Amino acid sequence: MSLTPVRCVVDTNVATTANGANRDAPGACVVASGRALQDVMERGHVFLDAGGRIVAEYRSNLRARGQPGPGDAFFKWLLTEEWSTDRVTRVPITPIAREPENFEELPAPSRGPAYDRSDRKFLAVAAAHPERPPILQAFDSKWWGWQAELGKIGVRIHFVCEAEIATKHAKKSKKAGIAKTAKKAER
């Protein structure tokens, strides 16, 4: 497992996995997600969208008070640091008219599945900033399948639980292939 890039975009899945909310995530992935967030809080820099979409998603999935889990602690830290340009960069992204969850900075993939609507803001921030900060991802297997297409536009994903996510993606792909074959046989 490689070191956590500390200048990054943080997908909500990392924080919820660190909190133990992702029941499918192995214990090692929960621990690795918490460590990655700790690294970011101790010496990192987070990239957010200027319109507040990412913070709003964090707010819907995390708590900033009470007895926090590691993901909640990250959210509380971010709310404390969000206006510090030393720790946070706000990146303007441009919604496409009549498609507010699509952004000019994120081209549609040339082939394959479309990016999830809720994930596009993270991808657009990484694509829009000249530094092309990597996106931290924990245990959402769809992201594994997006790597090649995103690489074409300079967007990199850092998988906190790389071996686990590769295995999960392979299992889901195999199941999808079996289902697709069964549908064809029914016709």
Residue 1 covered by a domain:
no
Question: Measuring CA to CA, which residue among 61, 26, 40 is closest to residue 138?
Answer: 26
Say what the pLDDT of residue 108 is: 84
Q: Which residues are within 8 A (CB) of 118 and not within 5 positions of it... i.e. 6 or more apart? A: 57, 101
The range of the structural domain enclosing residue 74 comes to 7-186
Q: What's the confidence (pLDDT) of residue 174?
A: 67
- Does residue 67 sit within a domain? yes
pLDDT at 175: 61
Q: Is residue 52 included in any domain, yes or no?
A: yes
Residue 133 lies in a domain: yes
- Residue ranges for the chain with pLDDT beneath 50: 1-2, 179-186
Task: Give Cβ neighbours of residue 141 (< 8 Å, ≥ 6 apart).
Answer: 165, 168, 169, 172
The number of beta carbons lying within 10 Å of the beta carbon of residue 117 is 11
CB 142 within 8 A of CB 18: no
The pLDDT, as a whole number, for residue 65 is 84
pLDDT at residue 182, as a whole number = 37
Q: How many domains does the chain have?
A: 1
Strands lying side by side in the sheet with 157-159: 88-91, 45-49, 7-10, 135-137, 157-159
pLDDT value at position 167? Answer: 86
